[in-house]
Amino acid sequence: MLQLNPNLTDLVADAAAGLRQRLHATATVTAAAPGRVNLIGEHIDYCDGFVMPFAIDRYIVIAGCANGTAEARIATALDEELAVFKVTEPQQIGTPKWSNYLRGVIQGFQDRGHHLAGFDAFIVSSVPGGAGLSSSAALECATATFLEGLLDTVLDTREKALLCQKAEHEFAHVPCGIMDQFASAFGKPNRLILIDCQTGEPNLVPFDNLDLTVLISNTMVHHELSDGGYAARRKHTEDGLAILGKASWRDVTAADVSAAWTQLGDPINRRARHVVGEIARTVAAAAALERNDFEALGPLMAASHDSLRDDFEVSCAELDIMVEIARKIGRAGGVIGARMTGGGFGGSTVTLCDASKAADVAATLAAEYAKATGLTPQIFASRPSQGAHLVAQAK
Ligand code: GLA
């Protein structure tokens, strides 16, 4: 039931083999960047809130080399179609769709005055796509790291993450916050990344207790953040802040939201209640972690899920079912807490549980979820892992 995470070394070998077979080229640069899971702090990275993700040990790997032309020729294991486009001129949105993440990142390098030359590249991934685990941020960060390798340059990590976020905004039309790209870029083994999204400060918090396991359950309900639901939520929060007459959500209290409830109107009042509540829950979770009080995370995760379901309305039936099964297993069965993770509208849940019972918890989640929905979920454990990095660079 519990899937094993594909080994990064195997992925790197697959990328090199794909490059040889599809493009008849030999890798001189190989970059890897992970997806992420968020423990708590959802839909508040674009509200100056706090978020607490970590980089998972599932990666996108890009292997490639200069090809002596002005064009990028990029292939992937997931698509027959090759992406071919000029890298020596300003980038445009084009096809195949996945190539836009690369085009956006290339544009970011051009904006910083880098002169790119043509390259061949092959992409492989162990980050489930459309599962709320930031496969797009992983692709952006892997691309940026690959280009650093090709250009023999190193960007400041924060600048790299922001460049990738801009690519997502402008080439995928998702007005995302900074969480995903920060997690993929700054990830470290055994560390959560507590990001203060007001200051843009990522704090690495130890998370190395081997008695705990983080299970990720992909509901297999596809999520598409570019279809408008995400942007609509973000707009609600911006409108809410304007009505409240505040400069930042960090200056808004629960009492402010209650006092302005009618003026805010539905659904903005409920969106506002989520933002203020989720910021407080994430601050409380960070404090609990500092004193190694993992049990305190359970109720906070539960309240986070309920708020995302009822007030922010970004959950869906399948996410609720998965969380409900975890709640029924309960503390006696090894579950500390469970909630949806990521943008929502489908995707994955995160379940914090006792390591000794993780396999049983995963088996029950899989069986009960299949019974309730007819879908076979993908369930795996993940520990905080290394963020975007170059795997090999031949000169
Ligand atoms: C997506 C976005 C993030 C964040 C989450 C919700 O993953 O890319 O910036 O807003 O949704 O927490």
**Which pLDDT value is given to residue 319?**
97
- 177 Cβ inside 6 Å of ligand 1: yes
Helices H, strands E: what count in the chain?
12, 14
| ∠ Cα 77 79 83 (to 5°) | 100
**Which pLDDT value is given to residue 393?**
53
- 179 Cβ inside 6 Å of ligand 1: yes
Q: Say which residue the tokens 């083999």 belong to.
A: 17
- Round the CA-based radius of gyration of the chain to a whole number and report it: 21
Taking CA atoms, 99 is separated from 74, 77, 102, 106, 371, in Å, by 8, 13, 5, 11, 37
State the closest ligand 1 atom to the C-alpha of 132, by its place in the atom list counted from 1.
7
Q: How far is the CA of 68 from the centre of ligand 1 (A)?
A: 38
Q: How far is the CA of 393 from the centre of ligand 1 (A)?
A: 32
Given 48, 57, 180, 311, the catalytic residue: 180
Mutate to test the pocket of ligand 1, among 56, 176, 184, 274 (most ligand atoms within 8 A of CB): 176
Taking CA atoms, 393 is separated from 64, 74, 103, 188, 219, in Å, by 10, 18, 22, 21, 37
C-alpha 303: how far from its chain's center?
21
Overall residue count recorded for the chain in this entry: 395
Q: How far is the CA of 225 from the centre of ligand 1 (A)?
A: 9
State yes or no: is 180 an active-site residue.
yes
Spatial distance between the Cα atoms of 102 and 95, rounded to a whole number of angstroms:
11
**Which pLDDT value is given to residue 227?**
73
Q: What is the pLDDT along the chain (395 residues), one digit of tens a residue?
A: 677 888 999 999 999 999 999 999 999 999 999 999 999 999 999 999 999 999 999 999 999 999 999 999 999 998 999 999 999 999 999 999 999 999 999 999 999 999 999 999 999 999 999 999 999 999 999 999 999 999 999 999 999 999 999 999 999 999 999 999 999 999 999 999 999 999 999 999 999 999 999 999 999 998 666 678 999 999 999 999 999 999 999 999 999 999 999 999 999 999 999 999 999 999 999 999 999 999 999 999 999 999 999 999 999 999 999 999 999 999 999 999 999 999 999 999 999 999 999 999 999 999 999 999 999 999 999 999 999 999 975 54
What are the phi and psi torsion angles at 219 (to 5°)?
Answer: -70, -15
3-state DSSP: the chain helix, strand, coil percent, rounded to 5?
45, 25, 30
Q: How far is the CA of 88 from the centre of ligand 1 (A)?
A: 32
Contacts of 178 (CB under 8 A, 6+ apart): 45, 161, 162, 165, 195, 197, 200
Q: Say which residue the tokens 């685990």 belong to.
A: 133
Spatial distance between the Cα atoms of 364 and 370, rounded to a whole number of angstroms:
10
What is the DSSP annotation of 199-215? TTEEEEEE---TTEEEE
Q: How far is the CA of 176 from the centre of ligand 1 (A)?
A: 6
**Which pLDDT value is given to residue 226?**
63
**Which pLDDT value is given to residue 78?**
86
What are the phi and psi torsion angles at 210 (to 5°)?
Answer: -75, -5
C-alpha 71: how far from its chain's center?
29
Contacts of 176 (CB under 8 A, 6+ apart): 45, 46, 165, 168, 169, 225, 230, 343
State the closest ligand 1 atom to the C-alpha of 230, by its place in the atom list counted from 1.
11
State the closest ligand 1 atom to the C-alpha of 343, by its place in the atom list counted from 1.
11
From first CA to last CA, the distance across the chain in angstroms is 43
State the closest ligand 1 atom to the C-alpha of 134, by its place in the atom list counted from 1.
7
